[in-house]
């Protein structure tokens, strides 16, 4: 078994109901954040972290993702004929970004089930899970930070962010013991899904990045459907931490929930302001608004 994390699974089989009606036909992973589909940010993060093989778990109506990461001969030929070299490089660049395989989740039976669909592609080695909705702006890619923790500690790693106040109730929350030598690392003892503020075991909200050992597949196979009839990834991880060490890691960077309307608006403003080609003009525009 390889001990290196070489593969990343992107569960993208969900229905994206929070973004209706935009997601009635267009997969939410293909919604544009400034000028790139949100899933491309995750794919670029994975590649920048050293991932060699990406497995996207898709579902009904998600074909646009496959077309996006493939060559578009008509488009490329037209751009070439018109001498649009820069745009041609952008279009070709997306098609050659990564080695990507697709596996279909026939019914959206939950995040745990989506991860399980990738089992044959991952095999018996540790792997990453990236939820494409969670777009992370970080100097060192979030997944790279987590892979470093995995290599150092040898146990599964869950990305967390500190959430103050009652907003924590929207998340899965980590229970754990903070490492006295590295305050970003927690040894996980449990997880509570969407707790009441008073019952939250910590301020550490679990977000959409995981590094997992392959044992999770067997445990997910034994996991009974939980809330809403779905197979939950957190139930699988809860079983995993009875057998192996699991760590929470407060990553350095900022995460946006681009699968949610408000989160997408925040990400759009912040990413646009950072863009050298758009930022200065956009900043001036925002300053002029009667807020
Ligand atoms: P979410 O609950 O955020 O996504 O799942 P959703 O169900 O698509 O969206 P809403 O809540 O209805 O707006 C987190 C991730 O898990 C994937 C989703 O695609 C998303 O990336 N997922 C969820 C699956 O791949 N399959 C599922 O059965 C459920």
Band the pLDDT of 228: cuts 50, 70, 90.
Answer: confident
Query: Which pLDDT score is estimated for 232?
Result: 93
Ligand 1, atom 9: closest residue by C-alpha: 16
Whether cis (ω within 30° of 0) applies to the bond prior to 21 is yes
- The alpha carbon of 188 is separated from its chain's Cα centroid by a whole number of angstroms, namely 20
Looking at ligand 1, which atom is closest to the CA of residue 131?
Answer: 21
User: Ligand 1 centroid vs 184 CA: distance in angstroms?
Assistant: 27
Query: Which pLDDT score is estimated for 61?
Result: 85
Per-residue pLDDT, averaged over 159-163, amounts to 97
Query: Which pLDDT score is estimated for 189?
Result: 97
Over residues 13-42, the pLDDT tens digits come to 988 899 999 999 999 999 999 999 999 999
Query: Which pLDDT score is estimated for 1?
Result: 55
Looking at ligand 1, which atom is closest to the CA of residue 109?
Answer: 28
- Residue 10 near residue 39, CB atoms below 8 Å: yes
Q: Spelled out in words, what is the top-level CATH class assigned to the domain 7-259?
A: alpha beta
Ligand 1 contacts (CB < 6 A) are 11-19, 57, 105, 108-111, 113-114, 131-133, 259
Per-residue pLDDT, averaged over 202-230, amounts to 94
Question: How do the domains of the chain map onto residue ranges?
Answer: 7-259
Query: Which pLDDT score is estimated for 202?
Result: 96
Query: Which pLDDT score is estimated for 87?
Result: 95
Looking at ligand 1, which atom is closest to the CA of residue 14?
Answer: 8
Ligand 1 pocket test: pick from 21, 43, 259 the residue with the most ligand atoms within 8 Å of its Cβ: 259
Ligand 1 pocket test: pick from 9, 10, 14, 229 the residue with the most ligand atoms within 8 Å of its Cβ: 14
Ligand 1, atom 22: closest residue by C-alpha: 14
Query: Which pLDDT score is estimated for 164?
Result: 96
Distance in angstroms (rounded) separating the CA atoms of residues 270 and 213 = 34
Looking at ligand 1, which atom is closest to the CA of residue 13?
Answer: 25
Query: Which pLDDT score is estimated for 207?
Result: 97
Query: Which pLDDT score is estimated for 219?
Result: 98
User: Ligand 1 centroid vs 119 CA: distance in angstroms?
Assistant: 18
Percent of the chain with pLDDT over 90: 92
Query: Which pLDDT score is estimated for 227?
Result: 73
Over residues 48-88, the pLDDT tens digits come to 999 999 999 999 888 899 999 999 999 999 999 999 999 99
Over residues 97-121, the pLDDT tens digits come to 889 999 999 999 999 999 999 999 9
Distance in angstroms (rounded) separating the CA atoms of residues 123 and 138 = 30
Ligand 1, atom 4: closest residue by C-alpha: 14
Band the pLDDT of 2: cuts 50, 70, 90.
Answer: low
- Residue 27 near residue 65, CB atoms below 8 Å: yes
Ligand 1, atom 10: closest residue by C-alpha: 16
Ligand 1, atom 2: closest residue by C-alpha: 14
């Amino acid at each position: 078994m390889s001990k290196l994390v070489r593969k990343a699974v992107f569960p993208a089989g969900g229905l994206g109901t929070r973004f209706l009606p935009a997601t009635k036909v267009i997969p939410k992973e293909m919604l544009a954040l400034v000028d790139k589909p949100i899933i491309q940010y995750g794919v670029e993060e994975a590649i920048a972290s050293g991932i060699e093989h990406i497995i996207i778990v898709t579902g009904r109506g998600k074909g646009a993702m496959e077309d996006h990461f493939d060559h578009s001969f008509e488009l490329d030929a037209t751009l070439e004929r018109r001498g649009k070299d820069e745009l041609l490089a952008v279009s070709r660049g997306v098609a050659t970004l990564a080695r990507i395989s697709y596996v279909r989740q026939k019914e959206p039976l939950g995040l745990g089930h989506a991860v399980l669909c990738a089992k044959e592609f991952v095999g018996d080695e540790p792997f990453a899970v990236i939820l494409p909705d969670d777009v992370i702006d970080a100097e060192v890619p979030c997944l790279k930070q987590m892979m470093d923790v995995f290599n150092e500690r040898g146990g599964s790693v869950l990305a967390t962010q500190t959430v103050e106040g009652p907003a924590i109730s929207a998340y899965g929350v980590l229970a754990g013991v903070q490492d006295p030598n590295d305050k970003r690392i927690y040894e996980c003892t449990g997880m509570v899904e969407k707790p009441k503020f008073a019952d939250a075991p910590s301020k550490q909200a679990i977000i959409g990045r995981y590094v997992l050992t392959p044992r999770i597949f067997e445990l997910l196979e034994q996991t009974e459907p939980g809330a809403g009839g779905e197979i939950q990834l957190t139930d699988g991880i809860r079983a995993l931490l009875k057998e192996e060490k699991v760590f929470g890691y407060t990553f350095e960077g900022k995460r946006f929930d681009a699968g949610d309307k408000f989160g997408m608006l925040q990400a759009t403003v912040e990413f646009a302001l950072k863009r050298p080609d758009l930022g200065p003009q956009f900043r001036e525009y925002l300053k002029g608004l009667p807020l």
